[in-house]
Chain A
């Protein structure tokens, strides 16, 4: 009897269990292992933030790409549910963006002595927030649901492309970046350069954060769908 109930739960929700385990692992592992990285002595023990701060960026990117895809689908089908998915993906992406900036500011304050530096990667993230806050304002200024969905989808597609262009070319314009990740600056750290013990925590942590994003997103979409059904009846 009990098994009949549990089986479908695990069949559809195994990834939620996985998210919980991965993040638990990321917290225990992240604070448990020894962190050291050559060239990053300035970060010292704050290097542990790598497992949390970088995850926010991946979560944001995954959510904004999801939002972009659902905006495209809305323009193809004109189905209100696609619009709900797009806007909720953007909302969760914004949440990750803010968390990424806050965790980054704490980290920057510790390592660079100031919460904000004029750096292409920081500015790219900040401009992303500006774009999607403007998206929220745009939605707020249109009353009619279908018109709102359509205009917002068009802006989302247009802005997403230009944001990606910005993230790609900003480091080229600035030349050097103090922020060690991706890109082509001399202090670049790619995940494969990390010591193995850190990699063992890093990759599962990143997957965990992205999955957590989808979990929050799914719950928010479900709430919106229920609201939509109530409103329509």
Chain B
């Protein structure tokens, strides 16, 4: 039942995105121009630390931009309609899964542009890709919940940034640590602990969001 609802709702999200292509294109252009500006701002990225920090900071801003619209692009009247026909959990999970898809695409694209413009510094590519997936999931779930919270208040966009930046730090710090390892050495040992931390953070966030979202949804 829940699975079927979520599937339909994700389909709706994708249709909505394809209908308003300018939003998606806007985020893609934001991503490309931010990376390009960074590329021009630095003469040459020489060390892996800078590469790593820039990559994740840019991805964080791209994520905030991409996900902030989650609960404001549709009218309150339509939200009321969804409220009557489906469960809050289905709404939340469909948004998280949809944003995960979006974030996966955006993070892989960022990675490709970074490889092109900032130089190829990743030694352990499979580990880096795992970090990207776990990071996409974490950013998608935290930011979806924060976007839902901020959608209840005025001054939505800057509110999402100030609410999410401090609480995204445990995730972002761990991501940066693992990806730094992926940039500096090819071995896997020593990274499993951090991957477990990432999984734990992701699960914690999703469980919390799953429990708290119904209160937020019932206005």
A residues whose Cβ falls under 8 Å from a Cβ of B? 75, 127, 130-131, 134, 137-138, 141-142, 147, 150-151, 153-155, 157-159, 161-163, 165-166, 169-170, 172-173
Question: B189 within 8 Å of A by Cβ?
Answer: no
CB pair B167–A162 under 8 Å, yes or no, is yes
Q: Which of B174-219 contact A (CB under 8 A)?
A: 174, 177, 197, 201, 204-205, 208-209, 212, 215-216, 219
Nearest Cβ on chain A to B217's Cβ, whole angstroms: 10
- In the complex the two chains form, is B209's CB within 8 Å of A158's CB? yes
B169→A127 contact, CB < 8 A: yes
By size class, the interface of chain B is 20 to 34
Query: Does B153 lie within 8 Å of A131, measured CB to CB?
Result: no
Q: DSSP majority for the A interface?
A: helix
Name the CB-closest residue of B to A124. B169
B166 contact set on A, CB distance < 8 A: 127, 130-131, 134, 159, 163
Question: Judging by beta carbons under 8 Å apart, are A170 and B153 in contact?
Answer: no
Binding site for A on B (CB under 8 A): 142, 145, 149-150, 152-155, 159, 162-163, 165-167, 169-170, 173-174, 177, 197, 201, 204-205, 208-209, 212, 215-216, 219
State whether B197 touches A147 (Cβ < 8 A).
no
> Given B149, B165, B205, which contacts A155 in the complex, CB threshold below 8 Å?
B149
Q: In the docked arrangement, what's the CA distance between A159 and B145, Å? A: 11
B153 surroundings in chain A (CB, below 8 A): 138, 141-142, 151
Return 14 A-B CB contacts under 8 Å, by A number.
A131-B167, A134-B166, A138-B149, A138-B159, A147-B152, A150-B216, A151-B216, A155-B163, A158-B149, A158-B209, A162-B167, A162-B204, A165-B170, A173-B174
| Cα–Cα distance between A32 and B197 once the two chains are bound (Å) | 46
For B216, the chain A residues whose CB sits under 8 A away are: 150-151, 154
Judge whether B208 and A166 touch: CB under 8 Å: no
Q: Which residues of B contact A158 (CB under 8 A)?
A: 145, 149, 167, 208-209, 212
Contact of A165 among B155, B159, B165, B201 (CB under 8 A): B201
**How near does chain A come to B90, taking the closest CB pair, in angstroms?**
19
> Which residues of A sit under 8 angstroms from B204, Cβ to Cβ?
161-162, 165
Q: A137 vs B205: C-alpha distance in the bound complex, in angstroms?
A: 22
B149 touches A170 (CB 8 A): no
| Residue in B154, B165, B173, B209 whose CB lies within 8 Å of A169 | B173
B53 to chain A, nearest CB (A): 13
